Structure 1
Amino acid sequence: MSEHRLHLAEAKLAQAKARRGQPISHILMEEGRVAPTEMLGAMAEASRIGQSVPQVVVAEAIASREEVLEAQAQHFGALVLRRRDSPPDPAVIDRLPPEFCLEHGVLPWMRVGDTLLLATSRPDDFPDLLPLLPPDIGPVVMALALEADIHAEISARAGARLAEAAETWVPDEDSCRDLNRMTPRTRMLAIGAGLLCLVLLLLAPRLLFGAALLLALGSLVLAQLMKLAALAALPRRAPPVHATLPADPPLVSILVPLFREEDIAQTLVKRLSRLSYPKALLDVVLVLEAEDQLTRETLSRTRLPPWMRTIAVPPGRITTKPRALNYAYRFTRGQIVGIYDAEDAPAPDQITRVAGHFARAPAEVGCLQGILDYYNPRANWLSRCFTIEYASWFRILLPGLSRLGFVVPLGGTTVFFRRAVLEKVCGWDAHNVTEDADLGVRLARHGFRTELISSVTREEANNRFWPWIKQRSRWLKGYGITWWVHTRNPRRLWRDLGPKRFVGVQLLFLTTLVQFALAPVLWSFWLILMGLPHPLDPHLSRPLILGLTTLFLSAEAVSILIGLAALARSPHRALFAWVPTLFAYFPLGTLAIYKALWETLRNPFYWDKTQHGRSAPDRPGSDLPPEG
């Protein structure tokens, strides 16, 4: 280190010590950074939520981070280090692992003589950090730096390694990343299954068709019974839950993955700004891909509030949402970690409800799933049907399955975790295109429960034909991959889940996949109604045809019942008349599953991106769920 740099550092340190010990609030007021009335309000808020005054002052935009940093430096008598003015010394950065630095908000910056200047963005926690340092690190003096500078330096120096770790955080036995690595055994099984089907098609087509019919009918019956059981498990009226802040409210980190989002950034900031949770306890991270210049340029023109920031994920072998989440997670420190999508409009009191629910719930409740709804249900027929389907899923099936004690496959957004639980299950599988459903199963396998909360997030219904097919094919591909990952070792899955939940996983995933894949087998019975020959004509007696007709009509009746019951629990009762049209909506899933099957063979980890911002809310304010 040069003599000039050494003297400059010592001069700045001496200047910082001039006001050592003075309250930060007084320093900010004396320097004219904060008006006394504003400081009184900040101090009252800090007392209410149990946080420091500087944290509140920054979060509420009363003073800038730089102004508060200078005041902290005077209070602690510490040197301020800025990346642009005095970049960290590469020779000392590696004295501490990047994971440790991210967890504790520190970075080895430079040496002044034999003393290491250890920069921190959390000076109040520095005394507790000292015993955790390696004994051979030498004399250490605290310096102050912006968290953004610490994160930027860690990203520049260790981003590639952290990104690679994000791809492989989930252990091999729980991940699907070996799906495209066919072993001789799996190759022989695949070839054998294909040859068997081909031989049966050539020599005994009726046998093959009959087996497919039995499988399709069995899945249809089991699926409808599961829906009725979920409906029966629900209470008639859920008790009202008021949003109250817990006595010791936690810091909540919200990850919002963005990719090629040009039209949604400003709207997203506006919608998340409605959240009523204390801003000093809210850390919203917009997660970007490093090569996504479109979104980065859009955000550069958007003024972000102090409690919102961006993290860029370095490029890697794959580009998926779960990989981005794993990477960005390391740059957060919230005791609760939540996920929102780019187009989400959560209820203003949602985070308060989540924090309160976790405070009351036992430790085994590791995850909370909110209700997803749409703000553009009347855009067209497809959006109406999608809204009915979502109402059925989030207001009937998921809460019913949860009350029955089955595994809950999570939605990709409005889902919240205890931080310790995410660490326990090793985050998201970076290669799974339905990382949410997979994580729901892994949570259950580790002994954690997922509970449903009544808070609603509105989002945009994907209501264009081909984008809908692409989105649904990704979901179905992920469902198939998730089932395969967790069932490839059935004994272990049985041991982890127990008989009841093991059967539940098979029912939930297999009935979904089989129904869509073998739907054409059931459609073939329309040939009989049209007076055309059917492959099973010799075996179709009149009583059998009547029985099948009764079964099909009963299945439709169950679907209508579930749709009506779901809408009755939602604000979309005007869609009652559209419920019978679902018979024409669900066949679209069959097109999607064949696309999914082709992609599973060709490119199982391909993430078919859904574009947001294509359909506006039906009316002003319809993207804002009511509080309470």
Structure 2
Amino acid sequence: MIAKTAATDLPVPIRPGVKVPDPGTEQATLGPRDLRPLGQILLEDGAVSHGDLLKATVMRGRQNVPLGQILLAQGWVTEESLTRALTRQWRTSAVDPLTMPPDSRLIDRLGPAFCLKNAILPWRRVGGVTFIATSRPESFQTLQTILPTGYGPVRMLLCSESAIHQAIISLRMTSLTRRAETSVAAGESCRSRNEGSIARFTILLLSALAFLAVAAPVGLLSVLTGWAMLTLLAGTILKLAAFKAVLRQKAEDAADQTLIATGLKTQPEMLTALPVISVMVPLFHESDVAGKLLGRLARLDYPRELTDILLVVEATDPITSAALKGVRLPHWVRVVTVPPGPVQTKPRALNYALNFCRGDIVGVWDAEDRPDPDQLHKIARGFAFAAPDVACLQGQLDYFNPRSNWLARCFTIEYASWFRANLPGIAKLGMIVPLGGTTLFFRRDVLEQLGGWDAWNVTEDADLGVRLARRGWRTELVDTTTDEEANCRALPWIKQRSRWLKGYAMTWGVHMRQPRKLWQELGPKRFIGFQIQFLGTISQYLLAPVLWSFWALSLGLPHLLREPLAHLWGGNAIAMLFTLFVASELIGMAINLWAVRGEKHRHLRIWVPLMHLYFPLGCLAGWKAIYEVVTNPFYWDKTAHGVFDETEVAETLVAVPDDARIVPMLGDIGNTKGSSFVMADISAMETAAPAPPLSVVEDDVAHALASADASGSDGVHHAVPQIKVVADMPIGDRQRMLG
């Protein structure tokens, strides 16, 4: 529904006795604020208890967060009550966009993404003044400085954040979904691939290979063998260099810890305030995982008022929607429903959900993830001490079911080697870091500059790692672990690995469209590394049978290339070939043994020699990937979760307050019962019963401590001295802390 034009809108009384500013004046400002603190107003309304207010006050003393945000995050106040109290404090009015829709043209002038990011809703223009609803009144003055030139005078209204989201979704859903699909420039996106050209090239290549296999089989096999050996040698050298860099870094870290332990060096302190961190969790057909996921998230010990979890659900996924429909979520967990579109992929869902994130740091977890409880603390600290050019922090991934079967053991060994030896070493060498699909955290402004994820790439994480490097940004590994479920059934494993390899192939093809430009942006070292990491990896999976065929020589069996190799390289040709094979295997085994040396995976050491029996599955996945690159490039082969976690101890959410809201699905956001207060009359609200004196709240220390111990909320532990400080403060300081 589109609002009427400004000419037909009736004047809106912002507050009795306050006139609408003259259109010709400068930016409209707010009238005098209510001098009473927000906490006192909430007490007057009976919207918050004395004990909860005191606990929130203590938390506010530790975090640079508005009092209302703390109360909401902890479930101690409702959105409706908070908005009503803010209208009194800021002497303005509230608007319900569901009953009084905004003018969509005003949204278009700023852009839906800008409005969502800043939690504002350009409502209507009346008498030359633009009324903008916000859920963050404390930031409204700063917002005015970044509005487009010529936007004219503005006036602030208040509205809950969920109502703002729903209003913009209802009016500009198509715009947001199209932006999610095309946020990456066409030249760097898989969506601009030429299907006809790829099909013709594939047919031509296969025809040429078939002809050579008949006309010159020795020549063809020689070329393939040479390329396979070259990529094997290059990959082994890179792996060895990365491992050496990791060992050097480990030695430096150990030396630093020794100096800190002996008092010769101090641990750097984080002086900046903890940031708000948003984490998106894409869900698809996750009926068995949804409940367990919420229990895992409840283990996080990051302050709830700084935690923003978005469960991202596809509108075409009734399974997950049904699983979440009746679940009561805490206020720091929200559901974002992604509208249908021409492609349905994880990166498209992430791009859409990114609009609704609150934090300056944005992360991604998968549905089956079990992040370390202190993971967000480590991420906040990591960014606080990171260099300005570090845009991404990648955590380590591990598996919680390595004992399920042989395939799970091999997968766990591979992951341990990748995340503990390979990736950290590659990062230290300054090479491109192919990101993992989860436990990723970004500076939001950088992520938005890059256009987010390529919605058409099925290995969006690796592609994003390349684009970060091309723009001069770096990725660092952080010492925090997320446990996942090892995909340890043969066919699902092949499907998952084929999707990864298909994405690698598509990523290589996209970025090699302009090789000279790529060389200039990456530099020689990273350009060569890119070829080894992507083209070399794909080649090793596809050509593995060519190399395996030479093991026949060790059994005395004939081989088509025995004589040509001896003629080309002399009598030592076979010995040189086997030296490369054995050296590569031994280096890989040594790194694998080092990666599983810890207590958690020490039992896997005896399985390391059998890893070479694990990789034939990868060869099948590689050829499946190439087939799908041609026939079905954007198909997302879904990995089933919750299959091998039967032994997991049941985890449940911490107690959720009675006023916690039901999960808001698309179309329900902001449509809460009793939210029909529109242009609330302040004089009517001031008839509420008076609250107790402020001293009563401050003296109720025993009640607050008992409630704090029962809730276990972060920011309240060990708070006895801080509560005493609150009670001893001068009245002016106490009022400021109360909002």
Counterpart for residue 284 of structure 1 = 309
Does the 8 A contact of 2:184 with 2:454 survive in 1? yes
Counterpart for residue 370 of structure 2 = 345
Alpha-carbon distance between aligned partners in 2 of 1:570 and 1:228, rounded to the nearest angstrom: 24
Alpha-carbon distance between aligned partners in 2 of 1:246 and 1:203, rounded to the nearest angstrom: 71
Does the 8 A contact of 2:10 with 2:126 survive in 1? no
Counterpart for residue 623 of structure 2 = 594
Counterpart for residue 216 of structure 2 = 204
Does the 8 A contact of 1:287 with 1:325 survive in 2? yes
Q: 2:341 is paired with a residue of what secondary structure? A: coil
Cα shift readout 1:569-628 (whole Å, capped 9, x = no counterpart): 5721111111111111111100001110110010111111112111116554999xxxxx
- Say if 2:581 is the partner of 1:556: no
Q: Of the candidates 588, 594, 602, which is equivalent to residue 573 of structure 1?
A: 602
Post-superposition offset of 1:418: 0.8
- Say if 2:435 is the partner of 1:410: yes
Post-superposition offset of 1:246: 4.7
Does the 8 A contact of 2:122 with 2:131 survive in 1? yes
Does the 8 A contact of 1:243 with 1:352 survive in 2? no
Does the 8 A contact of 1:368 with 1:416 survive in 2? yes
- Say if 2:244 is the partner of 1:232: yes
Alpha-carbon distance between aligned partners in 2 of 1:572 and 1:23, rounded to the nearest angstrom: 54
Alpha-carbon distance between aligned partners in 1 of 2:203 and 2:14, rounded to the nearest angstrom: 75
Does the 8 A contact of 1:391 with 1:570 survive in 2? no
Counterpart for residue 322 of structure 1 = 347
Post-superposition offset of 1:9: 7.1
AA at the equivalent of 1:498:
G
Alpha-carbon distance between aligned partners in 2 of 1:462 and 1:252, rounded to the nearest angstrom: 29
Q: Of the candidates 45, 49, 59, which is equivalent to residue 35 of structure 1?
A: 49
Does the 8 A contact of 1:402 with 1:451 survive in 2? yes
Q: 1:396 is paired with a residue of what secondary structure? A: helix
- Say if 2:488 is the partner of 1:463: yes
AA at the equivalent of 2:622:
I
Which deviates more, 462-471 or 293-302? Answer: 293-302
Listed as ranges, the gaps of 5+ residues in structure 2 are 19-30, 261-266, 653-739
Q: Of the candidates 417, 429, 453, which is equivalent to residue 428 of structure 1?
A: 453
Cα shift readout 1:392-426 (whole Å, capped 9, x = no counterpart): 00000001111111111110111111112112222
Does the 8 A contact of 2:432 with 2:530 survive in 1? yes
Alpha-carbon distance between aligned partners in 2 of 1:622 and 1:42, rounded to the nearest angstrom: 27
Does the 8 A contact of 1:255 with 1:286 survive in 2? yes
Post-superposition offset of 1:449: 0.8
Post-superposition offset of 1:91: 7.3
Does the 8 A contact of 2:314 with 2:339 survive in 1? yes
Listed as ranges, the gaps of 5+ residues in structure 1 are 624-628
Q: 2:56 is paired with a residue of what secondary structure? A: helix
Does the 8 A contact of 1:21 with 1:76 survive in 2? no
Which deviates more, 206-215 or 589-598? Answer: 206-215
Structure 2 vs 1, CA of residues 464 and 190 (structure 1 numbering), >3 Å: closer, same or farther?
closer
Structure 2 vs 1, CA of residues 536 and 576 (structure 1 numbering), >3 Å: closer, same or farther?
same
Counterpart for residue 645 of structure 2 = 616
Counterpart for residue 421 of structure 2 = 396
Structure 2 vs 1, CA of residues 14 and 378 (structure 1 numbering), >3 Å: closer, same or farther?
farther
Post-superposition offset of 1:114: 6.8
Q: Of the candidates 156, 167, 170, which is equivalent to residue 184 of structure 2?
A: 170
Cα shift readout 1:534-566 (whole Å, capped 9, x = no counterpart): 222443657433433333222221221111011
Q: How many residues align?
A: 619
Structure 2 vs 1, CA of residues 44 and 243 (structure 1 numbering), >3 Å: closer, same or farther?
farther
Does the 8 A contact of 2:124 with 2:131 survive in 1? yes
Alpha-carbon distance between aligned partners in 2 of 1:615 and 1:586, rounded to the nearest angstrom: 22
AA at the equivalent of 1:486:
H
Does the 8 A contact of 2:456 with 2:634 survive in 1? yes
Post-superposition offset of 1:88: 4.0
Counterpart for residue 229 of structure 2 = 217
Alpha-carbon distance between aligned partners in 2 of 1:332 and 1:430, rounded to the nearest angstrom: 18
Does the 8 A contact of 1:13 with 1:78 survive in 2? no
Q: 1:604 is paired with a residue of what secondary structure? A: coil
Q: Of the candidates 494, 497, 500, which is equivalent to residue 475 of structure 1?
A: 500
Cα shift readout 1:210-237 (whole Å, capped 9, x = no counterpart): 1111111222222222211111111344
Q: 1:450 is paired with a residue of what secondary structure? A: strand
- Say if 2:196 is the partner of 1:182: yes
Alpha-carbon distance between aligned partners in 1 of 2:415 and 2:269, rounded to the nearest angstrom: 28
Post-superposition offset of 1:104: 2.0
Counterpart for residue 273 of structure 2 = 248
AA at the equivalent of 1:208:
L
Alpha-carbon distance between aligned partners in 1 of 2:533 and 2:14, rounded to the nearest angstrom: 67
Alpha-carbon distance between aligned partners in 1 of 2:575 and 2:565, rounded to the nearest angstrom: 10
AA at the equivalent of 1:108:
P
AA at the equivalent of 2:205:
A
Structure 2 vs 1, CA of residues 379 and 539 (structure 1 numbering), >3 Å: closer, same or farther?
same
Alpha-carbon distance between aligned partners in 2 of 1:330 and 1:88, rounded to the nearest angstrom: 19
Structure 2 vs 1, CA of residues 249 and 532 (structure 1 numbering), >3 Å: closer, same or farther?
same
Does the 8 A contact of 1:343 with 1:460 survive in 2? yes
Q: Of the candidates 60, 65, 68, which is equivalent to residue 79 of structure 2?
A: 65
Q: 2:191 is paired with a residue of what secondary structure? A: coil
- What are the within-5 Å matches in structure 2 for residues 19-168 of structure 1? 20-88=34-102, 94=108, 96-110=110-124, 116-133=130-147, 140-168=154-182
Q: Percent identity?
A: 47
Structure 2 vs 1, CA of residues 90 and 48 (structure 1 numbering), >3 Å: closer, same or farther?
same
Q: Of the candidates 546, 568, 576, which is equivalent to residue 521 of structure 1?
A: 546
Counterpart for residue 626 of structure 1 = none
Post-superposition offset of 1:84: 4.6
- Say if 2:611 is the partner of 1:582: yes
Post-superposition offset of 1:142: 2.1
Post-superposition offset of 1:22: 2.3
Alpha-carbon distance between aligned partners in 2 of 1:86 and 1:45, rounded to the nearest angstrom: 36
Alpha-carbon distance between aligned partners in 2 of 1:276 and 1:431, rounded to the nearest angstrom: 35
- Say if 2:285 is the partner of 1:260: yes
Alpha-carbon distance between aligned partners in 1 of 2:363 and 2:578, rounded to the nearest angstrom: 46
Does the 8 A contact of 1:257 with 1:342 survive in 2? yes
Post-superposition offset of 1:129: 2.5
- What are the within-5 Å matches in structure 2 for residues 510-549 of structure 1? 510-539=535-564, 543-549=572-578
Alpha-carbon distance between aligned partners in 1 of 2:599 and 2:243, rounded to the nearest angstrom: 15
Alpha-carbon distance between aligned partners in 2 of 1:293 and 1:191, rounded to the nearest angstrom: 40
- Say if 2:528 is the partner of 1:503: yes
Does the 8 A contact of 2:296 with 2:651 survive in 1? no
Which deviates more, 345-354 or 469-478? Answer: 345-354
Post-superposition offset of 1:368: 0.6
Which deviates more, 204-213 or 546-555? Answer: 546-555
Q: 2:195 is paired with a residue of what secondary structure? A: coil
Alpha-carbon distance between aligned partners in 2 of 1:333 and 1:619, rounded to the nearest angstrom: 32
Post-superposition offset of 1:525: 2.5
Does the 8 A contact of 1:369 with 1:414 survive in 2? yes
Q: 2:397 is paired with a residue of what secondary structure? A: strand
AA at the equivalent of 2:225:
L
Alpha-carbon distance between aligned partners in 1 of 2:241 and 2:151, rounded to the nearest angstrom: 61
Alpha-carbon distance between aligned partners in 2 of 1:325 and 1:19, rounded to the nearest angstrom: 39
AA at the equivalent of 1:513:
I
Alpha-carbon distance between aligned partners in 2 of 1:454 and 1:224, rounded to the nearest angstrom: 25
Post-superposition offset of 1:48: 0.9
Structure 2 vs 1, CA of residues 76 and 528 (structure 1 numbering), >3 Å: closer, same or farther?
same
Structure 2 vs 1, CA of residues 12 and 290 (structure 1 numbering), >3 Å: closer, same or farther?
farther
